[in-house]
């Protein structure tokens, strides 16, 4: 297991002509939900394309601890669910490691069960705010028996005997909060309503409907979504083929755009419109991204992306696009560093409560490598250096954050001097194949200890 106690630095060097056809691992958001919903449903589910990253495996372990039978047979994961309403009290703490999604969705899932559940995580997860989930769960009847200062992990929840269905307006754009309330609603009588003023990724709504939940979504005249879920319904096991993760595809995608002479195809990428903000932004910057073989897979649009190196120009990213690319800002900042002119990214305060304070981590990493930028409370402005001249030679503090590590390893492919990250261990939480995939297209990225003098 990766941890800051045993950091593993890595270095990337200027590369040329990334070439090849690659497949990124399964979508992390869909993979968590696949294990959660399959573990809860009655009967058997079969999942292929599951992301076998640490975050998702911890969700699997939590569902096992609550009674689901989960087995891996080659590329297929088979899950025997417990049946809605029938989760068992776990005997041990549920350890979610680095995973915000796994921990927050599971808190929702168990929050209306008359049982005690203790949540723990690593140093990064233990700093992240959990009040956003605990507040609505308290309204539904959950008691918080233990929480650290500022409502942080470790947290012990005790659910009510009979929980209450609520109407909850999500105060910040967060698919995790929306999902936690809906999952809590699965185990209470009546209709739980989530009001979502700003649309976020809709995997929970879509997948719950696929598992047979009575859920409907209405968008009012102001674009506000009203999601209504009938509690205590039956969920039935499904077959799920998880498409490739656009948030992982972002790394070879930006790498190919900024590395001269590149031509890379990234296969099977999820193109759900709540996830495509980065691709749209890169296209606006002049990125040559072609959609090949557009098709539908399990109700989601997917395509292969052909990406060729491009001369990028700075843009202003509309603030209301943030939810559709929230995890992609660190790697967008890398593309911006190689673009002509400035790139402005307003409305990104949520980046401060991810695996690290990503706004600061990105700004510090850029400055350490010679890129000028301005960090505001909820915005970032990055100056571009086409050709990467004079950039690099810095070491980036990754703060237990996989996306910071991967983003800066991509930067080093196009800077004059190498870029070092202090620890690449956390990459395994979301993208265990990152190093081998990047090497296969010709990226000069390696662990510091493998470095040849």
Ligand X SMILES: O=C(O)C1=C[C@@H](OP(=O)(O)O)[C@@H](O)[C@H](O)C1
Residues at the site binding ligand X, with contacts judged by CB under 6 A:
29, 101, 174-176, 179, 201, 326-327, 350
Beta bridge partners of 72: 77
80 or 176: CB nearest ligand X: 176
Nearer to ligand PEP, 132 or 225 (CB): 132
Tokens of 301: 């649009």
The angle that helices 175-185 and 28-40 make with each other, rounded to 10 degrees, is 10
| Binding partner of residue 175 among ligand PEP, ligand X, none, CB cut-off 5 to 8 Å per kind | ligand X
179 contact, one of ligand X, ligand PEP, none, CB 5-8 Å limit per kind: ligand X
Residue 414 to residue 405: CA distance in whole angstroms: 16
Residue closer to ligand X, measured from CB, 61 or 443: 61
31 makes contact, choosing from ligand X, ligand PEP, none, with CB < 5 to 8 Å by partner type, with none
Of the two residues 28 and 435, which places its CB atom closer to ligand X in the complex? Answer: 28
The active-site residue out of 122, 327, 401, 423 is: 327
Q: Which two tokens stand for residue 136?
A: 């609505």
φ, ψ for residue 332, nearest 5 deg: -65, -40
Active site residue 263: no
Specify the residue, 14 or 403, whose C-beta has the smaller distance to ligand PEP. Answer: 403
403 is in an annotated binding site: yes
CA–CA dist 285, 127 (Å, integer): 35
If contact means CB under 5 to 8 A according to the sort of partner, which of ligand X, ligand PEP, none does residue 350 touch? ligand X
Cα-based angle 123, 325, 247 (whole degrees, multiple of 5)? 65
Residue 350 CB, nearest approach to ligand X (Å) = 6
Toward ligand X, which CB reaches closer, 117 or 176?
Answer: 176
- Burial of 241 (C-beta count, 10 Å sphere; 0-12/13-18/19+): middle
Assigned token pair, 234: 């039956």
Residue 174 annotated as lining a ligand binding site:
yes
Residue 141's binding partner among ligand X, ligand PEP, none (Cβ under 5 to 8 angstroms by kind) is none
Is 176 annotated as ligand-binding?
Answer: yes
How many whole angstroms separate alpha carbon 265 and alpha carbon 304? 7
Minimum gap (Å) between residue 150 Cβ and ligand PEP: 17
430 binds, among ligand PEP, ligand X, none (CB under 5 to 8 A by kind): ligand PEP
* CB 35, min distance to ligand X, A: 12
Q: Which two tokens stand for residue 249?
A: 């595809």
DSSP state of 127: G
d(CA 381, CA 268) in angstroms, rounded, equals 32
Residue 174 interacts, among ligand PEP, ligand X, none and using kind-specific CB cut-offs from 5 to 8 Å, with ligand X
First vs last C-alpha separation in the chain: 29
Task: Tell me the closest approach of the beta carbon of residue 78 to ligand PEP, in angstroms.
Answer: 24
- Has 358 been labeled as part of a binding site? yes
> What is the token pair recorded at 201?
């990724």
Q: Min. distance of Cβ 432 from ligand PEP in angstroms?
A: 13
Instruction: Give the closest residue to 310 by CA, choosing from 255, 369, 383.
Output: 255
| Rg of the chain taking only CA atoms, in angstroms | 21
Q: What are phi and psi of 394, to 5 degrees?
A: -110, 160
Q: Which lies closer to ligand PEP via its Cβ, residue 55 or residue 424?
A: 55
DSSP 32-91: HHHHHHHHHSBSEEEEES---SHHHHHHHHHHHHTT-EEEEETTEEEEE---TT-PPPPS
Question: Is 232 annotated as ligand-binding?
Answer: no
17 is in an annotated binding site: no
Do 426 and 394 contact (CB within 8 A), yes or no? no
H/E stretch holding 13: strand 10-13
Q: Largest Cα–Cα distance in the chain?
A: 66
Q: 152 labelled as ligand-binding?
A: no
Which residue's CB comes closest to ligand PEP? 100
CA gap 390, 371 in Å, rounded: 9
DSSP state of 135: H
383 is in an annotated binding site: no
In the complex, the smallest distance separating the C-beta of residue 247 from ligand PEP, rounded to whole angstroms, is 6
Residues forming contacts to ligand PEP in the complex (CB under 6 A) are 28, 55, 99-101, 327, 354-355, 403, 430
What minimum distance in Å lies between the beta carbon of 248 and ligand PEP? 9
Cα 440 to Cα 437: distance, rounded to the nearest angstrom: 5
State yes or no: 114 annotated in a binding site.
Answer: no
Task: Give least dist CB 104 to ligand PEP, A.
Answer: 8
Closer Cβ to ligand PEP, 188 or 331, answer by number: 331
Binding site as annotated, residues for phosphoenolpyruvate: 28, 100, 128, 176, 358, 403
Binding site as annotated, residues: 28-29, 33, 100, 128, 174, 176, 327, 354, 358, 403
Known catalytic residues?
327
Binding site as annotated, residues for 3-phosphoshikimate: 28-29, 33, 174, 176, 327, 354
């Amino acid at each position: 297991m990766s941890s800051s106690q045993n950091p593993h630095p890595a270095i990337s060097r200027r590369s040329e002509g990334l070439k090849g056809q690659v497949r990124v691992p399964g979508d992390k958001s869909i993979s968590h939900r696949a294990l959660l919903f399959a573990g809860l449903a009655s009967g058997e589910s079969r999942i292929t394309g599951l992301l076998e990253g640490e975050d998702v495996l911890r969700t699997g372990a939590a569902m096992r601890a609550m009674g689901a039978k989960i087995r891996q047979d080659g590329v297929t994961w088979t899950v025997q669910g417990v049946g809605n309403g029938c989760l068992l009290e776990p005997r041990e703490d549920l350890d979610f490691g680095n995973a915000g999604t796994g921990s927050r969705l599971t808190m929702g899932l168990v929050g209306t069960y008359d049982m005690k559940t203790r949540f723990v995580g690593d140093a990064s997860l233990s700093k992240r705010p959990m009040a956003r989930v605990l507040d609505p769960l308290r309204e539904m009847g959950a008691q918080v028996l233990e929480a650290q200062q500022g409502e942080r992990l470790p947290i012990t929840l005790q659910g009510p005997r009979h929980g209450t269905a609520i109407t909850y307006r999500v105060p910040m754009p967060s698919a995790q909060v929306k999902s936690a309330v809906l999952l809590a609603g699965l185990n209470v009588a009546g209709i739980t309503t989530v009001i979502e003023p700003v649309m976020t990724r809709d995997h929970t709504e879509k997948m719950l409907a696929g598992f047979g939940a009575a859920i409907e979504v209405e968008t009012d005249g102001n674009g506000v979504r009203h999601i209504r879920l009938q509690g205590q319904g039956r969920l039935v096991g499904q077959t799920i083929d998880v498409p490739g993760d656009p948030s992982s595809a972002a790394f070879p995608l930006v790498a190919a755009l900024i590395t001269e002479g590149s031509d890379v195809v990234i296969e099977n990428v999820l193109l759900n419109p709540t996830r495509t903000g980065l691709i749209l932004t890169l296209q606006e910057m002049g990125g040559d991204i072609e959609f090949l073989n557009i098709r539908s897979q399990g109700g989601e649009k997917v395509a292969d992306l052909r990406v060729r190196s491009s001369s990028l120009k700075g843009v202003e990213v509309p603030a209301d696009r943030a939810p559709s690319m929230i995890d992609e800002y660190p790697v967008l900042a890398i593309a911006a560093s190689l673009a002509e002119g400035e790139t402005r990214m307003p409305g990104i305060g949520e980046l401060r409560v991810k695996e690290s304070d990503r706004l600061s981590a990105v700004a510090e990493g850029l400055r350490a490598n010679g890129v000028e930028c301005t960090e505001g409370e909820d915005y970032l402005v990055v100056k571009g250096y086409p050709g990467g001249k004079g950039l690099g030679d810095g070491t980036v503090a990754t703060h237990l954050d996989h996306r910071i590590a991967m983003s800066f390893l991509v930067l080093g492919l196009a800077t004059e001097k190498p870029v070092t990250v202090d620890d690449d261990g956390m990459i395994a939480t979301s993208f265990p194949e990152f190093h081998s995939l990047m090497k296969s297209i010709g990226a000069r990225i390696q662990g510091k200890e493998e470095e040849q003098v």
